[in-house]
């Protein structure tokens, strides 16, 4: 099984939401973030990225490895990076149960990773990008370039290293924004209540999220603060230092057309090996 390496954990809202025994992310999205959905997502990822058989792929901020394990099942060499130690451990166990191998790295996605390289990278389900500030995202992409750049030599034009970022479409969010939403689990046992504010000066959504157990009436409350990008903004961030060139944008991993009504924004960028000889 892959190596597990712990690095400094970011002390912010992210820690309370994703890290530790009281993390609430899985509770919030486990009815959406299913293995079945991961299989559909991977179908789309392969269609859009067109990775060569057996290529190496970084699952950037990949949680408990839903996409990593599915990609490994299809013969790809996968490195999962996530900030949550328990998600990494869960991913290792799930991969072992599935009979596949993944490399698991527990770390802040903004860090540099010299120990491995990859041909492609994916960032799914609005993970990591936008959690901090724009400069953090630029730094993270700068380091991601380093891990992809190692595999440039020996490739041809059809095998250029690429990244795929799947995130929320700012225009859809604005059009459909509500300051309060409630979500109930399919069995009715749990309720998630989100009270949100959207700041049009920064394009950030700040939310108070309450998780309530309808049987015990116990509650957990978390705060979130997330930057949502427009396509033009994200394109500028990705291309900031000339290391990546955005080539495509879609309204989902299904390859649908991107427009103001698209809930998702899937951006593809290729590596520009300008610093390599």
User: What's residue 159's pLDDT?
Assistant: 66
pLDDT (mean) for 246-256: 98
User: What's residue 20's pLDDT?
Assistant: 81
* Per-residue confidence band for 254, with pLDDT thresholds at 50, 70 and 90: very high
- 222 and 13 Cβ atoms separated by less than 8 Å: yes
Q: How much is the pTM?
A: 0.91
Tokens of 206: 């700040």
- d(CA 20, CA 23) in angstroms, rounded, equals 5
Whole-angstrom Cα Rg for the chain: 18
Of 23-27, 92-96, 142-146, 223-227, minimum mean pLDDT range: 23-27
* Per-residue confidence band for 157, with pLDDT thresholds at 50, 70 and 90: very low
Tokens of 62: 């990949």
* β-bridge mates for residue 227, sequence order: 204
Tell me the per-residue pLDDT of 47-102, one tens digit each, with 9 for 90 and over. Answer: 999 999 999 999 999 999 999 999 999 999 999 999 999 999 999 999 999 999 99
User: What's residue 274's pLDDT?
Assistant: 58
What dotted CATH number matches 13-168+229-271? 3.40.50.150
* Per-residue confidence band for 168, with pLDDT thresholds at 50, 70 and 90: very high
- 241 and 142 Cβ atoms separated by less than 8 Å: yes
Of 23-32, 99-108, 158-167, 186-195, minimum mean pLDDT range: 23-32
């Amino acid at each position: 099984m892959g190596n597990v390496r712990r690095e400094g954990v970011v002390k912010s809202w992210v820690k309370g939401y994703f890290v530790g025994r009281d993390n609430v992310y899985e509770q919030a999205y486990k009815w959406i973030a299913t293995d079945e959905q991961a299989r559909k997502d991977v179908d789309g990822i392969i269609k859009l990225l067109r990775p060569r058989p057996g290529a190496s792929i970084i699952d950037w901020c990949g949680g408990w490895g839903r996409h990593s394990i599915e990609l490994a099942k299809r013969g790809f060499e996968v490195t999962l990076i996530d900030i949550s130690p328990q998600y990494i451990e869960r991913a290792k166990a799930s991969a072992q149960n599935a009979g596949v191998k993944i490399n698991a790295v527990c770390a802040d996605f903004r860090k540099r990773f010299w120990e491995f390289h990859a041909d492609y990278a994916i960032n799914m389900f609005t993970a990591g990008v936008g959690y901090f500030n724009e400069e953090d995202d630029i730094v993270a992409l700068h380091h991601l370039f380093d891990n992809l750049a190692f595999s440039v030599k020996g490739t041809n034009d059809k095998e250029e290293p690429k990244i795929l970022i799947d995130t929320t479409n700012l225009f859809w969010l604005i059009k459909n924004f509500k300051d309060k939403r409630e979500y109930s689990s399919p069995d009715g046992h749990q309720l998630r209540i989100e009270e949100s504010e959207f700041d049009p000066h920064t394009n950030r959504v700040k939310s108070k999220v309450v998780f309530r157990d309808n049987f015990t009436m116990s509650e957990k409350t978390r705060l979130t603060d997330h930057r949502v990008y427009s396509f033009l903004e994200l394109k500028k961030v990705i291309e900031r230092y000339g290391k990546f060139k955005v080539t495509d944008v879609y309204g989902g991993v299904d390859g649908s057309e991107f427009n103001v009504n698209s809930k998702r924004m899937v951006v593809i960028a290729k590596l520009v090996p300008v610093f390599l000889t």
